[in-house]
Structure 1
Amino acid sequence: MQALLKFSRGIDWLNSLVGKYVIWLILASTVISGVNAIVRKAFNYSSNGFLEVQWYLFAAAFLLAAGYTLLQGEHVRVDVVASRLSKRAQIWIDVFGFVFFLTPVCLVILWYGIPFFIQGYTSNEMSSNAGGLIRWPVYLMMPLGFGLLLLQSLSELIKRLAFLQGLIDDPTAKKAEKSAEEELAESIRRLAEAAKGHDTSAAKAD
């Protein structure tokens, strides 16, 4: 079990890293959307490529962050009955869900998603829209996203089994950590301060 817990910590680290950086895709999608609107209004020019890259970025953020969302316990839950049960009973319900629902769903999607991506990659499939983009990069997000979700499912299963054995504290307890959104806002603030400091130094040099 100690080896499994070490494996679980590695998965948690991986999905934490992915979640930390994937959120920038939302910012990129927002910026592209704004630039597209400005160019369309100011120069009467637009392209389906601008729209599709937004969809691609959103799909990547949604799928790649699925494992991170599970790690943070932020998936939608309906605990009308389970919330009235003991903590051990709630953990057993989670174990049942991971083993018989989440893991099989991830495996099925990987079973169909990987060949779907390979087919799109080998055929170099392009969007049917005028000015559209190549399709295989967004197809790749399906096996990558559900692969990360499958790994996190295994990590959560390991942690719950370890809790039932009394080896670790409650893995479902919320930790007082900064969210990915808060980290993104802080990163943007630091970049803005750095840019401001650079401009001030340049002005003094002039």
Structure 2
Amino acid sequence: MRRLLDGLYTGAAALAALCMVVLLACVLLSIASRQLHFMVQGLDAYAGYLMAAAGFLALAHTLKRGEHIRVTLVLNLLQGRWKKGAELWALGAATLLALLFAFYSCKLAWQSHVFNDISTGNDATPLWLPQIAMALGTVVLAIAFVDELVLEILGRRVPAQSSEALRNE
């Protein structure tokens, strides 16, 4: 099960990286098109969709690597059962919020599909297409939070430490 979950997080991160590469291609094509005096319709909108997709798809991987911003000032002062209780409360609240976020993201994509909602730009893209990446990213994030909560309850959670704190600037 652990390999499956880690593969899910890594797969979502790989999709985010692919979105970033395609985003780069869109930006380079946009620059080239301005220099060569031609226009590709909807390129700016697609770049925005790809940027949002990259952000949402990378959320779970970022969480599992300990790279999300987390205020540990109070947690570092607590010890024993109090610290465990605070961790459980924080992970429980985050899991609930992530589940709600995932539910409503999926609902939004589904409603956009049902109502045939399209973008108002000149690309006229059906909005459910870019919203799928947001829905997928939030579902994987919710799974990651449930994973963290279960590991904390079982006493097997090893909080990832960000390497950012180790850097001296």
Q: Does the CA contact (< 8 Å) of 1:29 and 1:58 recur in 2?
A: yes
Q: Unaligned 5+ residue runs, structure 2?
A: 164-169
Query: What's 1:152 paired with?
Result: 144
Query: What's 1:115 paired with?
Result: 107
Query: What's 2:20 paired with?
Result: 26
How far apart, CA to CA, are the structure 1 residues paired with 2:15 and 2:110? 26
Cα offset, 1:173, TM superposition: 4.1
Q: Does the CA contact (< 8 Å) of 1:117 and 1:139 recur in 2?
A: yes
How far apart, CA to CA, are the structure 2 residues paired with 1:44 and 1:55? 20
> Which runs of structure 2 are paired with 1:77-96 in the superposition (5 Å)?
77-86=70-79, 89-96=82-89
Larger-gyration structure (1/2): 1
Cα offset, 1:22, TM superposition: 2.0
Please, what TM-score do these two structures have when normalized by structure 1?
Answer: 0.69
Q: Cα 1:69–1:90, aligned 2, differ >3 Å: closer, same or farther?
A: farther
Q: Aligned letter for 1:133? A: T
SS of the residue corresponding to residue 140 of structure 2 reads helix
Query: What's 1:192 paired with?
Result: none
Query: What's 1:190 paired with?
Result: none
Please, what TM-score do these two structures have when normalized by structure 2?
Answer: 0.82
Q: Unaligned 5+ residue runs, structure 1?
A: 1-5, 177-206
SS of the residue corresponding to residue 43 of structure 1 reads coil
Q: Aligned letter for 1:125? A: D
2:30 paired with 1:36: yes
Q: Aligned letter for 1:56? A: Y
Large movers: runs of 4+ above 6 Å: none
Q: Cα 1:13–1:87, aligned 2, differ >3 Å: closer, same or farther?
A: farther
How far apart, CA to CA, are the structure 1 residues paired with 2:89 and 2:126? 40
Q: Does the CA contact (< 8 Å) of 1:63 and 1:146 recur in 2?
A: yes
Q: Cα 1:68–1:173, aligned 2, differ >3 Å: closer, same or farther?
A: closer
Identity rate, percent: 22
2:141 paired with 1:141: no
- Encode CA deviations 1:107-155: one digit per residue, 9 max, x unaligned: 3223333232112112332211123422111222232121111100111
Q: CA RMSD in A?
A: 2.4
How far apart, CA to CA, are the structure 1 residues paired with 2:6 and 2:85? 21
Q: Cα 1:59–1:175, aligned 2, differ >3 Å: closer, same or farther?
A: closer
> Which runs of structure 2 are paired with 1:167-182 in the superposition (5 Å)?
168=156, 171-174=158-161
